[in-house]
A and B are shown apart, each in its own frame.
Chain A
Amino acid sequence: AQTVTQSQPEMSVQEAETVTLSCTYDTSESDYYLFWYKQPPSRQMILVIRQEAYKQQNATENRFSVNFQKAAKSFSLKISDSQLGDAAMYFCAYRTRGADGLTFGKGTHLIIQP
């Protein structure tokens, strides 16, 4: 079974600084998708960024970028120029190409210090 591990229960960063959230996963599949979701206090899940495993290039969405290391099964999220609105729970998630549901990590609570 696939597992997703987020080893940082909580992270804190100063506003405008950069922070990196860690995620590792375990799978025997070669073709899969990785995601970072944001869950603010409203609890609405919001997609931050996605990465296809077959793509070597790291995905980027404005201030959010990932460092995808397929061999190491690592998928970290970098948030640049942190803003107060970035404060939330961040979940790393995995899905195989053909599968349906997502496997989530336990989440990292990101605190933004003004």
Chain B
Amino acid sequence: GAVVSQHPSWVICKSGTSVKIECRSLDFQATTMFWYRQFPKQSLMLMATSNEGSKATYEQGVEKDKFLINHASLTLSTLTVTSAHPEDSSFYICSARDPWTGVNTEAFFGQGTRLTVV
């Protein structure tokens, strides 16, 4: 299957700073990528849909000014957590779908990023 790479795998940052997480599709071009958040021992919650060359679509309750998403190329989407606070500590996972295999195929997931804000 297609490969989605996420970087970094884990990051620790100080409260008030910003941190950027990258999501790359390695062997296909992804016009759409997705960002999820997973709290410990809980499910994945869709945060936003990242569209190449346009603004991201955020789910209800997700602060777009706090979670900045940029999808500047067909292989890279970034999630920046701005002015991070301890409550932003979580596991963030991206996914992408390979459009050449059909719009109705499954999404491929990155390995996730564990963010700890101290």
Contacts and interface: CB of A to CB of B under 8 A. Distances in A.
A42 B43 contact: no
Given A42-B111, A43-B112, A91 B44 contact: yes
A102 B46 contact: yes
B77 interface: no
B111 A50 contact: no
Contact of A104 (B1, B32, B43, B106): B43
B109 A101 contact: no
B42 interface: yes
Contacts, number: 45
A52 B112 CA distance: 27
B62 to A, nearest CB: 12
Interface of B: 1, 32, 34, 36, 38, 42-46, 49, 59, 91, 93, 95, 97, 104, 106-107, 109, 111-112
Interface of A: 33, 35, 42-45, 47, 50, 52, 91, 97, 100-107
